[in-house]
Structure 1
Amino acid sequence: MQGCLRNFVCRVSPKKWATKSTESVKRAQKKCVTLRRVLATNTDEFCKNTTLHGLKYVNNQSLHPAERSFFIISVIVVCIISAFYILKVYEKWATTPVIVGINPEPNFVTNIPFPAVTICNLNQALKSKAIEANRNPKRRAMLKLLCKNESDEEQSTISSNWSNLESIIMNISQPCEDMMVACRFAANEYDCSKYFIPIITDEGLCCVFNMLHPKFMFISHIPRSMRNIPERDYEPIDWYAERGYPPDLPNKYYPRRIAGTGESLGLSITLDVEADKYYCSSTNSVGFKLSLHSPNESPNVHETGVLIAPGKETKVRVRPDKTETTQKLRSVDTKYRRCLFHDERQLLYFAHYTQRNCEMECIAKMLLQHCGCISFYMPKIYKNSTICNIRSLHCVEMVRLRKDPTIGSCLDACWPSCYDLTFLVDVFAIPLWSDEFFIENKRVQRYNKTYARKNIAVVNMYFKEYSFRSSIQTEFIGTTDFLSAVGGLMGLFLGFSFISIVELVYYAIIHPIRTLLQFEYTKKPALSEKLIRCDKTTVCRQWSSVQRYKRLRKYLRLRAIYGRAHKSTKQRAGYKRLSNNAVKCITDTLKKEQDIRT
């Protein structure tokens, strides 16, 4: 009996088993296969049962070898063609992820700020102030730089400190309160000097309206011209092209929005050019330059400004041009989407990233690298930056106009903003009345007709349409489109679907594991044989305790698995007899234990 029990828990060695096991066990031993055979069997079953096209002919033994070879070659060719087109789709998806289209949702001019307006007098210096400045050699050299005239000053004078050039420009140029005669915005009259602040640009001293407050515009160094901003009734707020206005707005704020379209709700200003006070002009004419730009952007008046002639009334019809980008493109590499979100690059001088602000800093870096100084209107990216003097004018022009091809440029790194707001203008001008000139503003009425025709300019800026369509950058081929394209190609060439993936997982993992486990249990036939030979008495004697009963249940489960692997009638009868004996034994044992307790 002890030998019978040992065979419950001890494994018979393959050699001993081969000599002592019965014929049925020997047949079971032959069914134990290696891993290679299991994989081969599963591959064969997969080819026969899969939904993929053509594979069932590859291992069809009823076909002639030449026919099977034909299908093998066909499947390989189809796989290669499918992989080729899938690679093309992937390259298109990876290298061309962005497409620019028209946003189906309309935008309204009441939801965007009115453009920042920068106006510059072409006169770089008032005649009286220039005559006074010529008495000082240093100021005379600075005046020549401002007027872009060649200097014959001594080198010692030119090489002196030019850090106060900004204050000199403010002293010798026409101030904003003299340039602005009258202002009207959204059908309300305003004091121009409170809303137009001085700013130094490449056109000298200018006046800007509706620009961001310097504390939001710049990171550290605030230009001297913008440090003493008069108090207004409007609270400054930070505005982003990407995020727009903050949710909680005060009653009065700027950058200001417009109430509607048309000239009545736009910005109207009356300007005095003071032609008799001209000393040097940035062009060959008398008048003003006007630039409309985003409130968070530095103006580019010299290159993109519109000329405003005195003695004429000019209509400036504004058309907003807005660019938007879906947030899904944040995950796309910048070298493919070719634009930057506002928080992806931090500039040194400007707090807001725009392409124009980046270009300004880039040119300043190039000037520092090649000329050792920066122009007076450039951003002070470093606190110790030196202002270029008149001797450096040639080097400045070489860098700014990129005349020397050997000079590297960083402008290629200044990509557009993913969210951007620009303004396009249509300009129309007509002469002022020849017989009578009258403006409702009392400050203008003191000018006579002759002076008005020679010096006064009226500019009206307004939005043309209430709604407009913005450009939106979206995914050219999204993840869903990519999967659809790949799935379509694989379905066309191979009949592939997600069910095919399930089949592959089943035949590659689940089915082999199940088969290996089944054959692993077939390697223990001696155990089952000894179980069959054990009678009821032996089973009851050795498995009366509850712990042994649990072990018996374990071996009964093994026997059930092993029993499914043997198909002979004799073996099935033996398993049935063993099962009946075990059940009877267990039942009797439980009854005895119950009687003892009671």
Structure 2
Amino acid sequence: MIVGDVNIETNRLKKKDSTKKNNFTTQLKDYFTEYSENSGIHGIKYLGEQNRTISEKIWWFIALLAALYLCVTLIIRTYQKWESSPVIVSFATKETPIWQIPFPAVTICPETKSLPTAFNYTDMLYKKLQNRPVTEDEELKFSYIASLCTYHPELTYNLNDFVDAENMFEFLEKVSPKFLENISDCFYMGHAYNCSDIFTPIVTDEGLCYAFNLLNREDILSDTVLHYNNYHSLTKYRAEWSLEHGYKNSAGKNTYPRRALHAGALFDFELKIQTLDNELDFTCGSSIQGYKIQIHHPAMLPRVKQQHFRIPLDQAVIAATMPTMIQTSEAVKSYKPERRQCYFPSERNLKYFKIYTQQNCQIECKTNYTLKVCGCVDFYMPREKGTKICGAPLKVCMQEAEDQLLSEGIETNIRHVQGLQVKNDILHQTINKCDCMPECTSMTYIVENSQSEWDWVRKYQFDPEYSQFNKSKMHMSYLQVFFKGNQFITSERNELYGPTDFLANFGGLLGLFTGFSLLSSVEILYYLSLRLICNIKLYGIRYWSGKHE
């Protein structure tokens, strides 16, 4: 009897457990059926129908999976596009008048670095090439000029590796052409100006040059940078313009840097340059005599050796310019610089410059790398107190440093693209710190040049000032710079996909393939939480699905 009672009790418990399992399964099916009947998501209601065949449910299950697969794939592609290229450059909706931007800065560099009457570089070069004896003073002065001229690797120097900056620039200023005395008839916007008042001497990679409409050195270079004499100094001008914000609201018509008030050749910047025939030197640089010109915006330190056009002797050169400007919308500022591929001035501080531009960054990078490799910098590079200037014996080191900087920078970028490990020694760390992306607000000037022979002898044949000269004794050149149009179209960096656009695309794809909406997610959350709790309160834990006898 005892054994029989045990068997009866065991069967009763098994039946009770089975009933519980069947009850939970039934409740789950009922709950899912109720959800599928009310859900707005396509295909779900067919899966919840209880009186349909299994083949129909498999059909709709496969269809729902295919739709979800296509939907998720397209959403991932949209996200990758948003992540990799969130910024697009497009044209502005209206044109910008030229008076809102400054007239370009014009930097002029004479091809002759040393007047033969002051220091004959040609004679000294041939003495060195023929190993003829020279004095220590001649060797030192020759090395100063050689820093500006074509490099001759076969020459040797019995000098120290470093030079005294003050002595070097004092000598270069003494022997260089008297540019401010040789220019005349300077006009701007139809008004005559004293040429010496509007040009300032500046040290570039071409030596001693002269700039018009350039910002003062205190507005471009850091306070720790050493300056030479009065170079690049504009004590009577105060800048009321910045590359990022443009002109101040308080800036009037006659401000600095000078505005471009009108377009056309009648409202130009022009000048004439006289050059005596006995002042020419054909061995320092190229055999092309005349002047190198760079046109750039006023906040950029010129690099005339890399970007220039020429004013030959006895030629009239006309440069018609058209500005191109890229601005960045406020919405893009929230993106990291790596994503928008540009820097705002407040995001990137330079050691030697107050203003971030891509070219200023490249100059600083080259300066730091040359200092690391050679222990000194070139004469035109910005430097702090205690930094040495490389002399002619270290010309090879400086050239190798520049070549290595360019080649290693390209190699580093290639290794990044290929996913390879980048070298991490001290020199490569210096290169990696460069990161000279464009500035978010950039401005350049597209120049269209034309030139022709200028028979200035006939033009001034009755002018007593020029009647005593002819082309065998003196040369004259003419430069004219003006804007082509009164308006130009700017470009602007805007969001390709903002958060709102991405959300709209995301929701559009979900709605297209599945009918999913924001309320669908609320509905799912409701069925998984609040409805369950309310069913239990209304019908008890046994009937949590809401179905009861």
Q: TM over 0.5, yes or no? A: yes
Residues 341, 419 of structure 1: 8 Å contact kept: yes
Q: Give the superposition deviation at 1:471.
A: 1.9
Residues 53, 495 of structure 1: 8 Å contact kept: yes
For structure 1, list consecutive stretches of 5 or more residues without a partner in the other structure: 1-29, 524-563, 568-598
Residues 43, 507 of structure 1: 8 Å contact kept: no
Quote the Cα distance in structure 1 between the aligned partners of 2:525 and 2:405: 64
Describe the shift of the 1:47–1:166 C-alpha distance in structure 2 as closer, same or farther (beyond 3 A): farther
Which residue of the partner structure matches residue 474 of structure 1? 494
Amino acid of the residue matched to residue 263 of structure 1?
A
Quote the Cα distance in structure 2 between the aligned partners of 1:211 and 1:144: 28
Quote the Cα distance in structure 1 between the aligned partners of 2:190 and 2:375: 49
After superposing the two structures, state which structure 1 stretch, 497-506 or 404-413, moved more. 404-413
Corresponding residue SS for 2:305: helix
Corresponding residue SS for 2:458: coil
Amino acid of the residue matched to residue 274 of structure 2?
D
Deviations 1:310-337 (A, max 9, x none): 2111111011111112121122232222
Quote the Cα distance in structure 1 between the aligned partners of 2:526 and 2:355: 56
What are the within-5 Å matches in structure 2 for residues 425-444 of structure 1?
425-433=447-455, 436-438=458-460
Amino acid of the residue matched to residue 159 of structure 1?
D
Describe the shift of the 1:411–1:121 C-alpha distance in structure 2 as closer, same or farther (beyond 3 A): farther
Question: Is 2:401 the partner of 1:399?
Answer: yes
Question: Is 2:306 the partner of 1:303?
Answer: yes
Amino acid of the residue matched to residue 183 of structure 2?
M
Corresponding residue SS for 1:303: coil
The partner residue of 2:270 within 244, 251, 268 is 268
Corresponding residue SS for 2:118: helix
The partner residue of 1:340 within 335, 338, 343 is 343
Quote the Cα distance in structure 2 between the aligned partners of 1:253 and 1:448: 41
Describe the shift of the 1:316–1:227 C-alpha distance in structure 2 as closer, same or farther (beyond 3 A): closer
Deviations 1:370-394 (A, max 9, x none): 22221101121x4322111111111
Question: Is 2:381 the partner of 1:378?
Answer: yes
Amino acid of the residue matched to residue 129 of structure 1?
A
Describe the shift of the 1:54–1:153 C-alpha distance in structure 2 as closer, same or farther (beyond 3 A): closer
Quote the Cα distance in structure 1 between the aligned partners of 2:535 and 2:275: 96
Q: Give the superposition deviation at 1:517.
A: 3.7
Which residue of the partner structure matches residue 127 of structure 2? none
The partner residue of 2:73 within 50, 74, 84 is 84
What are the within-5 Å matches in structure 2 for residues 47-86 of structure 1?
47-86=36-75
Name the count of aligned residue pairs.
491
Describe the shift of the 1:113–1:38 C-alpha distance in structure 2 as closer, same or farther (beyond 3 A): farther
Residues 315, 452 of structure 2: 8 Å contact kept: yes
Q: Give the superposition deviation at 1:225.
A: 4.9
Q: Give the superposition deviation at 1:80.
A: 1.9
Deviations 1:473-502 (A, max 9, x none): 222223333223222221121012233233
Quote the Cα distance in structure 1 between the aligned partners of 2:407 and 2:120: 40
Describe the shift of the 1:467–1:225 C-alpha distance in structure 2 as closer, same or farther (beyond 3 A): farther
Corresponding residue SS for 1:455: strand
Quote the Cα distance in structure 1 between the aligned partners of 2:95 and 2:157: 62
Quote the Cα distance in structure 2 between the aligned partners of 1:228 and 1:240: 18
The partner residue of 2:198 within 170, 195, 198 is 195
Describe the shift of the 1:80–1:406 C-alpha distance in structure 2 as closer, same or farther (beyond 3 A): closer
Describe the shift of the 1:414–1:34 C-alpha distance in structure 2 as closer, same or farther (beyond 3 A): farther
Give the alignment's TM-score, normalised by structure 2: 0.81
Amino acid of the residue matched to residue 113 of structure 2?
Q
Richer in helix (by share): 1
Question: Is 2:461 the partner of 1:459?
Answer: no
After superposing the two structures, state which structure 1 stretch, 383-392 or 399-408, moved more. 399-408
Residues 361, 434 of structure 2: 8 Å contact kept: no
Describe the shift of the 1:160–1:471 C-alpha distance in structure 2 as closer, same or farther (beyond 3 A): closer
Residues 39, 512 of structure 1: 8 Å contact kept: no
Question: Is 2:78 the partner of 1:103?
Answer: no
Describe the shift of the 1:153–1:68 C-alpha distance in structure 2 as closer, same or farther (beyond 3 A): closer
Describe the shift of the 1:339–1:230 C-alpha distance in structure 2 as closer, same or farther (beyond 3 A): closer
Question: Is 2:127 the partner of 1:124?
Answer: no
Which residue of the partner structure matches residue 485 of structure 1? 505
Corresponding residue SS for 1:129: coil
Quote the Cα distance in structure 2 between the aligned partners of 1:115 and 1:462: 9
What are the within-5 Å matches in structure 2 for residues 78-477 of structure 1?
78-131=67-120, 135-148=137-150, 150=152, 155=158, 157-164=159-166, 165-220=168-223, 221-226=225-230, 229=233, 232=236, 235-249=237-251, 252-279=254-281, 280-380=283-383, 382-402=384-404, 405=407, 409-410=431-432, 413-433=435-455, 436-438=458-460, 445-446=465-466, 448=468, 450-451=470-471, 454-477=474-497
Amino acid of the residue matched to residue 486 of structure 1?
F
Amino acid of the residue matched to residue 49 of structure 1?
N
Deviations 1:524-554 (A, max 9, x none): xxxxxxxxxxxxxxxxxxxxxxxxxxxxxxx
Quote the Cα distance in structure 2 between the aligned partners of 1:369 and 1:227: 27
* C-alpha RMSD of the superposition: 3.3
Deviations 1:404-429 (A, max 9, x none): 85685459711111110111111111
Quote the Cα distance in structure 1 between the aligned partners of 2:311 and 2:268: 17
Amino acid of the residue matched to residue 105 of structure 1?
K
For structure 2, list consecutive stretches of 5 or more residues without a partner in the other structure: 1-18, 125-134, 410-427
Q: Give the superposition deviation at 1:566.
A: 11
Quote the Cα distance in structure 2 between the aligned partners of 1:116 and 1:228: 13
Identity of aligned residues (%): 25
Give the alignment's TM-score, normalised by structure 1: 0.75
Corresponding residue SS for 1:376: coil
Amino acid of the residue matched to residue 50 of structure 1?
S
